[in-house]
Amino acid sequence: MEKHTNNVLAPIDLIVHSANQVLTLGGDAPKRGATQGDLGILRDGAVAIRGERIVAVGDTLDLLALADAHTRTLDARGKIVLPGFVDAHTHVVFAGDRANEFEMRLGVATPLRTWQYLDIQKAGGGIMSTVRATRAATRDDLIAQSRARLDAMLAHGTTTAEVKTGYGLETATELKMLGAIAALAAEHAIDLVPTFLGAHVVPEEFTGREEEYVDLVVDEMLPIIQNSKFRIRNLRKGILNSEFGILNCDVFCDDGAFTLAQTRRILTRAQELGFGLRVHADEFANLGAAALAAELGAASADHLMVTRRDEMQAMARANVAAVLLPGTTFGLGKTNFADGRAFIEENVPVALGSDINPGTCWCEAMSFVIALACRYAKLTPAQAIVAATLNGAYSLGIAEHVGSLAPGKIADVLIADVPDYRHLAYRFGANPIETVIKRGRVISLI
């Protein structure tokens, strides 16, 4: 009890109590190797909240003794309590949809041909088709379309999400996307961590002039975006990510996207300008991006469906998080899932993301990502839950604020209507999350 509490003398606003299991996850350090599955389970546990923060985590009887007339209580009998999900990789801000391409990939719309994702891209569709829709959308429309997805993510227990740009691919529209992200960060309950992905693909108007597009990203976009971060933060008095204040840069390094040399150039410049680094690595082809992430000390390498053991070892040495996205492999109808067990064996901190995007994976539910990760990416339920919470936070540089249930952390707390943590992975297709508490506020879910 002692080590789980601090500053409990002032009134407590909210106590969630009597949970079958409280998954505390404890601490701020990423869990890796033998500790990847450490859930820190308390039985008949409780969480006490004041304002936006957790003030105590412990036994139900001990914590209920702190309640007074002002304290609201939530009974979690027969249920489990866990930290809000931290979705470490999303493209949730976009306009339009690509249901037509989904049909093409199934071979339904064009029975004579089953299209591959990269073939559609080469034919002018894919990411570029969402770029056209996003360029054409007004900022307000972009916000409205994305807000609906954030609402669904919140209802499924996501309380923090990384969000990438990358459907502008021209300075003005990349800035429009960042503006939309900033506006959503200010209005929406989910805390958002922005990532600039100007190097998502080479836009069609630069076909045959790929290096010129890389020049544009390096010489124009990166410096302007970096300055805009401070403009946005000052204007919004730090509301964008509030205390997080992070801006990342990501590059899609793969066949049909950017080469290793181009990726190195963009990420190196981004690092000089103070961006945190993330990289789309090894989704289709292994171009060496995971090793580059290790060399540059990136925060994460993501996708990792065709990564070698020696590259995993380099990531472990450099403390690069592996962000696995099994929803994307599933969404593409493929079977070469990232080998999560191998990353854990090599001592890489493993995180999970939804990768929600219109092309490969329109999925708002981290519980479904957990279900997939256990069946196909070879994680145990406990390892997957750590990956979807604390390790996601670690990969975003915010593990001191969110990702576990401990005094002082932001009170992002879920009640799931299941008797045992394994049910989060065992069941799928329905939403197990019954109550979402975001920054101490009980969110009403419809």
- Residue 63 has what DSSP assignment? H
Min dist. Cβ of residue 366 to ligand NIG (A): 16
| 130 vs 300 by CB, closer to ligand NIG | 130
Residue with the shortest CB distance to Fe ion: 355
- Smallest gap from residue 142 Cβ to ligand NIG (A): 15
Q: Where are the alpha helices (DSSP H) in 190-346?
A: 210-215, 222-235, 260-272, 289-296, 309-317, 326-331, 340-345
Q: Which is nearer to ligand NIG, 290 or 410 (CB)?
A: 290
Q: Does 87 bind Fe ion (CB under 5 A)?
A: no
Q: Would you give the distance in Å from CA 117 to the centre of its chain?
A: 23
Binding residue count for Fe ion, defined by CB under 5 A: 1
- H-assigned helices in 285-444: 289-296, 309-317, 326-331, 340-345, 366-376, 381-387, 390-395, 423-426
Q: Per CB under 5 A, does 162 bind Fe ion?
A: no
Which one among 355, 395, 413, 421 touches Fe ion, defined by CB under 5 A? Answer: 355
Q: Are 334 and 430 in contact (CB under 8 A)?
A: no
CA distance 245 to 104: 41
State yes or no: residue 364 binds Fe ion (CB under 5 A): no
* Residue 254 interacting with Fe ion (CB under 5 A): no
Residue nearest to ligand NIG (CB): 359
* Residue whose CB is less far from ligand NIG, 359 or 392: 359
- Closest to ligand NIG by CB, 165 vs 360, is 360
Least separation, in Å, of the C-beta of 172 and ligand NIG?
A: 20
For residue 284, how many C-alpha atoms fall within 13 Å in the half-sphere facing its CB? 14
Q: Which is nearer to ligand NIG, 307 or 328 (CB)?
A: 328
Tokens at residue 129, please?
Answer: 């088709």
**Residue 361: CB minimum distance to ligand NIG, A:** 6
The beta strand positions in 8-118, using DSSP E, are: 14-23, 41-50, 53-59, 72-75, 80-83, 85-87
The residues that touch ligand NIG, with contacts defined as CB under 6 A, are 91, 126-127, 130, 252, 280, 283, 328, 355, 357-360
Residues lying near Fe ion in the complex (CB under 5 A): 355
